[in-house]
Amino acid sequence: MVERNNNFSYEDFAQIKVVGVGGGGSNAVDRMIADGVQGVEFITVNTDVQALMHSLAPVRIRIGDKLTRGLGSGGNPVIGQKAAEENQEDVYEQLKGADMVFVAAGMGGGTGTGASPIIAGVAHDLGALTVGVVTRPFTFEGNHRRKMAEQGIEQLRPVVDTLIVIPNDRLLQTASKNTTFTQAFQMADNVLRQGIQGISDLITQRGLINVDFADVKTIMAQQGSALMAIGMGTGDSRMVDAVNQAIASPLLEVSIDGARGVLFNVTGGEDLGILEVYEAADIVAKQVDPDANIIVGAVIDPTYPPGEVKVTLIATGFDIMRPGDPVNIKRIRSTPPRRPAPAMRRGCRHNRHVRRSPRHRRRHHSLRRHRHARPPTTAAAMIWTSRPSCAIAIAVSRRATARKTTLGAGPQTLFFSRMLAASPPTYEKKSSSGVASPPPNPH
């Protein structure tokens, strides 16, 4: 197909949509809009009507109107999930036709944690390259919020091609003692923006070394976990400083060693040199897997401050095992097999290897003492179980016990019948020998 007079429209380019879910995701979208990010369509999704009214996104989806009446999810991810399912068709209509969808959310809350997997699943079913960019809550937000965030991350992982998790606690390593709560959360929202903008700029901005959507899809499609870092540099060694800052970024929970795919983009002014870009790419290549697919992009922005450069690094492929990868067989063989738990056999003396509680041990010794006690020499004896409520007075003769025969119709049986007919069995106190005293002789 030949186009004359450059009759191209934006519809011919990759359609990128950024969906901010919940409060944290909506704040990240607002910051991207305020920074003037171009070539991306912004959407905010929330259960809180008040938050949607203040959003700068041109497309705003109100979910869970019947469930929450626009008052929010109350920090409950289950409500956030049901709210997204209630308006799943609205989300489908807005994401239809997108080539790439970013799902931004702050994990740990209600709407962001519960609705993000539903929205990402819709985008993934539409065939769009789905990238999740989420934050893990601060430690001071509580253990309950952290657990909900981890559950939300695990539910989001199977429905996205690439998942970038940004730990908020690591942002505090770059904060000062005078950093306020508001500034701390603004830092988290800003990192969400940088992660999304760093990837979208690779596609939307025309660079000296251009990176198109197909290159990004090769690196990020079905790659699992990913790492994102941004470095800045100035002066004569600006490029080396920016790369080292990105590699040693506090946002990286693990090293980039072993990454199978790397997106490396350099942004600078008109003074950006080709040797600087080559040197930076060589540093990254030495840090990742030798067979990694590295895509380098360079964007020259005339409005960028002279003497400064910015490096955006996206590393993927940590969860992928390719054919021919060595398997640590020695480690597998050195692991001893787990023995099954020994079966519990009937009788306390056969279970001596089982660790018992003090209450079990007291009962165990009590039963042994009663079992091995010598029967009384009187005609009637008291035989009982371990529970007093099951105690029954039985008149039995020593002769019948020795012969293991049933009770006859002797005087002992008549006594037993009269005792049961007269009144319920009474419990006698134990003697010092541990054997209860026999009932009184009625004759």
Q: What is the pLDDT of residues 216-225, one digit of tens each?
A: 888 888 777 8
Secondary structure (3-state) at 441: coil
Instruction: Say whether pLDDT at 386 is over 50.
Output: no
Instruction: Say whether pLDDT at 67 is over 80.
Output: yes
* The pLDDT of residue 93: 94
Report which listed range, 36-50, 116-130, 278-292, 390-404, is most confident.
Answer: 116-130
pLDDT band at 430 (very low <50, low <70, confident <90, very high): very low
Residue whose C-alpha is closest to residue 110's, from 64, 60, 143: 64
Lowest model confidence (mean pLDDT) among 101-115, 204-218, 253-267 = 204-218
Instruction: Say whether pLDDT at 285 is over 50.
Output: yes
Q: Are 123 and 95 in contact (CB under 8 A)?
A: yes
Lowest model confidence (mean pLDDT) among 44-58, 87-101, 120-134, 242-256 = 242-256
* The pLDDT of residue 354: 47
Lowest model confidence (mean pLDDT) among 27-41, 122-136, 313-327, 354-368 = 354-368
* The pLDDT of residue 397: 42
Instruction: Say whether pLDDT at 426 is over 70.
Output: no
Helix boundaries (H) for 320-357: 329-334
* The pLDDT of residue 41: 93
pLDDT band at 251 (very low <50, low <70, confident <90, very high): low
Under 8 Å CB-to-CB from 1, ≥6 apart: which residues?
Answer: none
16-21 and 41-46: which strand pairing? parallel
- ∠ at Cα 248 (311, 298), nearest 5°? 15
* The pLDDT of residue 82: 93
Please indicate whether residue 338 or residue 287 has the higher confidence score (pLDDT): 287
Q: Are 150 and 120 in contact (CB under 8 A)?
A: no
pLDDT band at 401 (very low <50, low <70, confident <90, very high): very low
- ∠ at Cα 23 (19, 28), nearest 5°? 55
* The pLDDT of residue 201: 75
- Class of domain 226-320 (CATH, top level): alpha beta
Q: Cα–Cα distance between 150 and 161 in angstroms, integer?
A: 18
* Domain layout of the chain by residue ranges: 12-204, 226-320, 376-428
* The pLDDT of residue 213: 82
Q: Are 231 and 244 in contact (CB under 8 A)?
A: yes
| Residue positions forming the annotated binding site for GTP | 23-27, 110-112, 141, 145, 189
Lowest model confidence (mean pLDDT) among 99-103, 147-151, 267-271 = 267-271
Q: Cα–Cα distance between 157 and 251 in angstroms, integer?
A: 19
* The pLDDT of residue 92: 95
Q: Are 280 and 297 in contact (CB under 8 A)?
A: no
**pLDDT, tens digit, 9 for 90 and up, residues 4-63:** 555 545 455 788 999 999 998 998 899 889 888 878 899 999 999 988 999 999 999 999
Q: Are 14 and 100 in contact (CB under 8 A)?
A: yes
* The pLDDT of residue 368: 53
Q: What is the mean pLDDT of the chain?
A: 74
pLDDT band at 417 (very low <50, low <70, confident <90, very high): very low
Please indicate whether residue 249 or residue 9 has the higher confidence score (pLDDT): 249
Q: Which fold has domain 12-204?
A: Rossmann fold (3.40.50)
As given in the structure block, the two tokens for residue 99 are 């080539």
Q: Give one DSSP letter per residue of 264-309, joined into a string.
A: EEEEE-TT--HHHHHHHHHHHHHHS-TT-EEEEEEEE-TTSPTTEE
Q: Cα–Cα distance between 304 and 43 in angstroms, integer?
A: 28
| Residue positions forming the annotated binding site | 23-27, 110-112, 141, 145, 189
Residue whose C-alpha is closest to residue 110's, from 136, 148, 139, 146: 148
Lowest model confidence (mean pLDDT) among 51-55, 363-367, 407-411 = 407-411
Residue whose C-alpha is closest to residue 221's, from 385, 99, 383: 99
Residue whose C-alpha is closest to residue 149's, from 161, 159, 134, 163: 134
* The pLDDT of residue 381: 41
Average pLDDT over residues 332-355: 47
